């Protein structure tokens, strides 16, 4: 966690902004920013005003926290994230997750843009993450103490929550939105992978590759949160397309997929609010 700020300091700051205490939070990566437009906000604040939050420096990540209602469900939305490749330490990248847990969030859904390794994926498709490969060369629990009785030896056998994943699949079926489950490989970035690396990742069992999310999953599980994750496949991975890979392509495909992402998450949040 941040050396300068404790999560309680940040969560206490947020609690002063609104009386609403959602149990559900969404972290919006590239291609998912439009989900935030449907929220009826009771509080909204830029990351750089929240104690301990690092402001994202990548296009497609606005860096705004909103608390309010999406449909009938109270929710916290983190619109954008900071990345390890930007030079942040892992405790800074994952600090917002610890703040969410301290705030009282119990269920977390993470989203990201990813390169499609499985040849069945096309740009604009969505993948429900059902497992991951941490190939970032480090972990956010490195050096962390077991404060509060929380062991750093976190069991990730079932990192992704079956109930949240079921609700996402149900929402996709209701909206006739293709949503295939797969394995997400997390790498450091910011350069894209080589074709040889993609072939190796495929042999390791990866269906998509990206530069985020897994550190947040690990910290969320360390904090006892239930987690699910969805990737927007914004480009074929290296070696699967003759076109050069670029962040501009990622942003463009993400923009085209926003309406579908909005539909998926509005349906999911309603299912979440009405679950028994």
- Residue ranges of the domains in the chain? 7-274
60 in Cβ contact with 255 (< 8 Å):
no
- pLDDT score, position 73: 93
Question: For 230-264, how does the pLDDT look when each residue is reduced to its tens digit (9 = 90+)?
Answer: 999 998 888 887 777 787 877 787 777 888 999 99
- pLDDT score, position 1: 43
φ/ψ of residue 236, rounded to 5: -70, 140
| Nearest C-alpha neighbor of 22 from the set 41, 6, 3, 4 | 41
Kindly report the pTM of this predicted structure: 0.93
Question: For 101-135, how does the pLDDT look when each residue is reduced to its tens digit (9 = 90+)?
Answer: 999 999 999 999 999 999 999 999 999 999 999 99
Stretch 75-88: mean pLDDT, rounded? 94
Q: Exposure of 105 by Cβ count < 10 A (0-12 exposed, 13-18 middle, 19+ buried)?
A: buried
Higher pLDDT, 167 or 71: 167
| Nearest C-alpha neighbor of 63 from the set 79, 86, 44, 83 | 79
Question: For 34-64, how does the pLDDT look when each residue is reduced to its tens digit (9 = 90+)?
Answer: 898 889 999 999 999 999 998 887 766 789 9
- pLDDT score, position 94: 96
Quickly state the pLDDT bin for 2 (edges 50, 70, 90): very low
Which residues make Cβ contacts (< 8 Å) with residue 153, sequence separation at least 6?
none
List beta partners, residue 230: 111, 128
209 in Cβ contact with 198 (< 8 Å):
yes
Would the pLDDT of 87 be above 50? yes
CATH, domain range 7-274: 3.40.50.1580
Question: For 163-205, how does the pLDDT look when each residue is reduced to its tens digit (9 = 90+)?
Answer: 999 999 999 999 999 999 999 999 999 999 999 999 999 999 9
- pLDDT score, position 149: 62
């Amino acid at each position: 966690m941040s050396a300068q700020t404790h999560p309680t300091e940040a969560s206490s700051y947020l609690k002063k902004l609104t009386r609403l205490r959602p149990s559900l939070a969404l972290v919006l990566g590239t291609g998912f920013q439009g989900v935030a437009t449907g929220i009826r906000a009771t509080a909204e604040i830029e990351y750089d005003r929240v104690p301990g939050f690092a402001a994202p420096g990548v296009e497609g990540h606005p860096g705004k926290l909103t608390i309010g209602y999406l449909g009938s469900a109270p929710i916290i939305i983190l619109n954008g994230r900071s990345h390890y490749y930007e030079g942040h330490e892992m405790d800074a990248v994952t600090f917002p997750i610890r703040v969410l847990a301290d705030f009282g969030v119990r269920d977390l859904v993470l989203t990201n843009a990813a390169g499609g390794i499985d040849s069945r994926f096309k740009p604009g498709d969505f993948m429900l993450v059902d497992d991951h490969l941490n190939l970032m060369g480090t972990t956010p629990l490195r050096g962390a103490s077991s404060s509060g009785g929380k062991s750093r030896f976190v069991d990730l056998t079932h990192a992704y929550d079956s109930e949240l994943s079921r609700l996402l699949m149900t929402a996709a079926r209701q909206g006739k939105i293709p949503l295939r489950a797969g394995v997400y490989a997390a790498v450091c970035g910011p350069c894209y992978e080589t074709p040889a690396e993609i072939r190796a990742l495929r042999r390791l069992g990866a269906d998509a590759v990206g530069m985020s999310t897994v550190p947040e999953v690990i910290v969320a599980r360390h904090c006892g949160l239930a987690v699910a994750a969805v990737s927007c496949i914004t480009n074929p991975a290296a070696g699967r397309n003759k076109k050069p890979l670029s962040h501009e392509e990622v942003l463009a495909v993400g923009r085209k997929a926003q309406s579908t992402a909005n539909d998926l998450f509005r349906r999911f949040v309603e299912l979440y609010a009405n679950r028994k």
